[in-house]
Amino acid sequence: MQTLTKHITRPPSAQTLRKGYLIVSIDGKETPLTYDVQETHLKSFVKALQISDSFFPVGMYNFSHGLESFVQANIVKDVDDVVFLLNDILSHQIAPADCVALANAYRATEQSDLNKLLLVDEMLYTMKLSTENREGSVKTGKCMLSNLLLMIPGSLILRDFNETISTGASPGNYSVILGLGGYLLGISCSETMMIELYSFSVSFVGAAMRLVKMDHYTAINIINELHPLLVDIIKNNIHKVPDEMYSCAPLVDIMSIKHERATTRMFLS
């Protein structure tokens, strides 16, 4: 099978300035193809890339999310154990708590409902049982918030939320602030949830590379095989209300509490 492409030259117009036209020949049959430059989508897309990039300063690199304690206790020994634990945390902590909080924060921002935003923030904070988990969520949240204030300086609800956090009246969890920022940056709710899940997974796997025997190729494969689970988590949690939030991973919480008392620690959690 031979495939040939050739550009069609058309007179310049408002349409042709934005669209490219191609004729693709497949087995002698010519098929016209078009592609469009959607500026609005591209602007929100680059913002999504920006806030999900490891270069963006939120501090996720400093957290193992309890993994360090599991390795020290010889519970997690290899890549298979890492994958099992990551799936467990995603399914029983991040999905029903952080993702539901994010989706509700997104909707609260859409409705300019500061009270609901604060309620969701407080509810999520109470579900993080260990001090390290609470502090980690708040530290990364405040880093995200400070960057959003630079990116969206004119947002009234963002400034009001920041003032409430500054007075100590609300904790400022990462997931809640990410949901708020996702809406203000024009990113869809599902894409914002994927940023949350992907960032957490990369942070966890990055910590695993420093704690167990694992190379970059294995790490990439782990993230790649997570994709169906991440999509399912979004589909199953995006429409839930705050009262449906929960977190249930007792051993993860116990190991996190043990990590707080460890004499030697590489990570903040």
pLDDT of residue 87: 95
Q: Which of 90-94, 105-109, 205-209, 218-222 has the lowest mean pLDDT?
A: 205-209
Question: Domain limits at 60?
Answer: 39-260
Domain membership of residue 265 (yes or no) is: no
Quick one: 140 and 73 in the same domain? yes
Bigger pLDDT: 218 vs 264: 218
DSSP run (H or E) holding 35: strand 29-36
pLDDT digits (tens, 9 = 90+) for 142-199: 888 988 998 898 899 999 999 999 999 999 999 999 999 999 999 999 999 999 999 8
34 — phi, psi (to 5°)?
-130, 155
pLDDT digits (tens, 9 = 90+) for 141-158: 988 898 899 889 889 999
Share above pLDDT 70 across residues of the chain, in percent, rounded to a whole number: 78
Quick one: 172 and 185 in the same domain? yes
Domain membership of residue 268 (yes or no) is: no
Quick one: 150 and 19 in the same domain? no
DSSP run (H or E) holding 128: none
Bigger pLDDT: 225 vs 259: 225
Quick one: 165 and 199 in the same domain? yes
Quick one: 30 and 88 in the same domain? no
Q: 21 and 7 in contact (C-beta within 8 Å)?
A: yes
pLDDT digits (tens, 9 = 90+) for 76-124: 899 999 999 999 999 999 999 999 999 999 999 999 999 999 999 999 9
Residue 24 confidence class, pLDDT cut points 50, 70, 90: low
Please classify residue 261 by burial: count the beta carbons closer than 10 Å to its beta carbon, then call 0-12 exposed, 13-18 middle and 19+ buried. Answer: exposed
Quick one: 21 and 70 in the same domain? no
Domain membership of residue 267 (yes or no) is: no
Domain membership of residue 266 (yes or no) is: no
Domain membership of residue 251 (yes or no) is: yes
Domain membership of residue 269 (yes or no) is: no
CATH number at residue 174: 1.10.4190.10
Please tell me the total count of domains within the chain: 2
Residue 59 confidence class, pLDDT cut points 50, 70, 90: low
**Of 132, 133, 162, which Cα lies nearest the Cα of 146?**
162
Quick one: 11 and 125 in the same domain? no
How much is the mean pLDDT over the chain?
Answer: 83
**Of 197, 191, 183, which Cα lies nearest the Cα of 106?**
183
